[in-house]
Structure 1
């Protein structure tokens, strides 16, 4: 457990450093924007010269106070650590500037580095706080899906920046966000957005219940026989999309760290939730159950 915690801290530190280098070295000198809290910090920097490190720590601190109940203790600790480290490294790397001769190179470099940094932090089990928490709150109280909420928040932040950095740089910022998303997705789950998961565990019932509660995906249970011991086993098979692979790995590890898990790429999936969407009512019901369970744990 201590080794895992140490590894998470090291990864969060590396991710925070890369993030800070991307913002100071490529985004700021080339007048690029950003989504989320960092985007607000950049706009305030361009207008008032208030350091991004100060703005992000203040805004993220406020958001963490508002949304602390939606994160488990370990994620909260790593999120606070990542938030502090990002602000610290933003200050330490201030002035590391590189102006590109070709405008398109700036968003490519900054987007790739930011996506890499966020992927590293998320792989460690943390997050950078900010608009992720706001999106979760909007999901609960306004019924919006988390993905749509994040997109809307980024649009609200990026579009008005036209009046600060100009239309051309806003377009380059969109390129930055696109590259960032692609790199982040690759870090988290590779090229293929869908995976088939086979899980062999003596605690298959608990795992199945948690997959249904947290992930909201249907499963198939197979009867299997171990070759060596000739004992009967249950095998869980579930197909998930790219956003669900990390929560799934996390809940399996929490229930049974000795579970045997096989993750395979899927070429094509036809069925509920893939070829057509799960109903809004069903999806909202699953999300509300998950959030409410988190609230009960904090009481």
Structure 2
């Protein structure tokens, strides 16, 4: 609901007053408003509702229901009267504000397991089956609508729309990386057994010990491998240093992690 509200503010208070476009279904919504004066809330609900029906074949029911919830509330927020119309000759300002607000809105909605349907449904499908980040996949489909809008909003506003979409995609990816990020930690230490036990006790999950050997030292050096959140990593690394100050700790970012609870306990 909050993400939908922020999205509606971006559309009603920054994009439409500046006559900017958007991507995906929202872009089609603005075009319908500019050309035929069709209310944005109506176009949003009808077109996104149809896309959610398509998404039923590819996404789980929970995602579809949460997306429907977001779409319904977006239509409600779009229908509310605009309290104040923002006007400025500096079109770059509403472009950047619209992009930031849209990115925040998408980050909130996607992090909650939903979407605004439209290109985000297609973005979730690409993320699920091909591992492409949702923000980047959504940007691709958004541009497919935004660029042809040049015939409606003009060349300059089309370029500003592309800039707004780029900012939105960057903010979306940043928010998803911040809220849903995972880290892989690999630890090499002679006290691997103590370290593995400490990780298991503190995080309440299992760890994987990979049997390995050092080529130079010709000794066995098992590698501890586990996945955690950034917050858990900040808590566990000082503990690892306390157990073995000379331990080699390697950290990596993870784009996507899928597993059931049973696997985490192994």
Q: Provide TM-score, normalisation by structure 1.
A: 0.61
Cα deviation code 1:73-111 (max 9, x no counterpart): 221211110011111101114464211231110111101
**Residue-pair matches, total:** 214
Identify which of 16, 38, 43 aligns with 1:50. Answer: 38
Match of 2:96 in 1: 108
> Which residue of the other structure, out of 113, 118, 131, is the alignment partner of 1:125?
113
Unaligned runs of 5+ in 2: 187-191, 209-224, 228-251
Distance 1:190 1:27 in 2: 26
Q: Residues 25-47 of structure 1, C-alpha deviation per residue, up to 9 Å, x if partnerless? A: 00000011111110011011100
Residue 153 (str. 1) matches residue 126 (str. 2):
no
The question of whether the paired residues in 2 share the 8 Å contact of 1:68 and 1:76 is answered with yes
Structure label with greater radius of gyration:
2
Q: CA deviation at 1:156?
A: 2.2
Alignment of 1:51-90 (within 5 A): 51-90=39-78
Q: Distance in 1 between matches of 2:127 and 2:100?
A: 28
Classify 1:152/1:118 alpha carbon distance in 2 versus 1 (closer, same or farther; 3 Å).
Answer: closer
The runs of 5 or more residues in structure 1 that have no matched partner are: 1-12, 200-221, 260-299
* 1:219 corresponds to: none
> Can you list the C-alpha shifts for 1:14-61, whole angstroms capped at 9, x where unaligned?
111111011000000001111111001101110001011111110111
Match of 1:197 in 2: 184
1:38 counterpart residue number: 26
Of 232-241 and 19-28, more deviation after overlay is shown by 232-241
RMSD over aligned Cα atoms: 3.6
| TM-score after normalising by structure 2 | 0.68
> For residues 77 and 83 of structure 1, do their structure 2 counterparts lie closer, same or farther at Cα, with a shift above 3 Å needed?
same
